[in-house]
Amino acid sequence: MITFRTFASGSSGNASLLELDRSDGGVDRYLFDVGISPRRLTGQLEELDLGWSDLTGVLPSHFDRDHVHLNMPKTLAAHQVPTILERGQQKEAGQVGIHGSLMRFHEGILDLSSETKLQTVRVPHDEHVCCAFVVEHRDLKFALATDLGNVPKAFLDLAAGADLLAIESNHCPDLLASSGRPAFLIDRISGSHGHLSNQQCVAAVQAISTKQSPNAVVLLHLSAECNHPHAIENLWREHLPHLMPNLHIALRNETTGPFRPGREASLF
């Protein structure tokens, strides 16, 4: 079994937890992004009867502060939690203070265990080396992509048939255009190295779910000002009506989930 939860999602902080049941009865636990304060994350782990020693590793998509909180490197070091990263992210990881002795490198593919394979794809986001993730655990597939200006075909191919899919649905282009933000910022957000629009997200989900529908699609990193669940709902009703029962929006500041393959729940 695999279980996914988000702890926070959006420009004020991102963190989520993937739990993988092993055949020996143990559980591997990975945090995808750690962009909230250690104190807050400690509290949200405690709500699940978990502590830092239960964590197997941390996988940041990139090293912006909303993905690796200012105080997180110290906490990760105190609890000896390794950070798993692409070799090309080493410099940025070092700059935010991740300890070199706790960095575990890969080149886009890594066996996390004998039962679990990680693959990453670089996605375009500002000047960062930003990664999207696909985790295959036994016969189940989990995919996560956030903070990307467009979705590379390599990710669509790898994520195809995912049982659980977490993907950015950052903004509604109309709300962004009328937000009153400066033009350079609008251009950055909507550009090819910015953030995924609701429409881009729908197109990606369509491509990923052609052969098999995910049991849950969790939308990440919604803009507080330039998005609205109604805009998303209208779009999905038009383009992905059969997936509406599987659609969920990650809450900005609260735990959302758990999501598991086969779990039935509906947002709308």
Other CB atoms within 10 Å distance of the CB of residue 252:
17
| Cα 217 to Cα 215: distance, rounded to the nearest angstrom | 7
Nearer to Zn ion, 19 or 147 (CB): 147
Nearer to Zn ion, 20 or 176 (CB): 176
Segments of 90-215 assigned E as strands: 103-106, 109-113, 116-125, 128-137, 140-145, 164-168
Q: Please identify, among the stretches 131-139, 145-153, 207-215, 255-263, the one whose residues bind Zn ion according to the rule CB under 5 A.
A: 145-153
Q: Please identify, among the stretches 63-71, 115-123, 174-182, 200-208, the one whose residues bind Zn ion according to the rule CB under 5 A.
A: 63-71
Angle between helix 198-208 and helix 229-239 axes, rounded to 10 deg: 40
Nearer to Zn ion, 33 or 136 (CB): 33
Q: Using the rule CB under 5 A, is 92 a contact of Zn ion?
A: no
Applying CB under 5 A, among 19, 28, 33, 66 the residue interacting with Zn ion is: 66
Nearer to Zn ion, 163 or 168 (CB): 168
Shortest CB 97 distance to Zn ion, Å: 18
Q: Using the rule CB under 5 A, is 136 a contact of Zn ion?
A: no
Q: Using the rule CB under 5 A, is 147 a contact of Zn ion?
A: yes
Q: In the numeric block, which tokens belong to residue 19? A: 């739990």
Q: Which residues contact 43 (CB under 8 A, 6 or more apart)?
A: none
| Identity of the amino acid at 147 | D
Residues that bind Zn ion (CB under 5 A): 66, 147
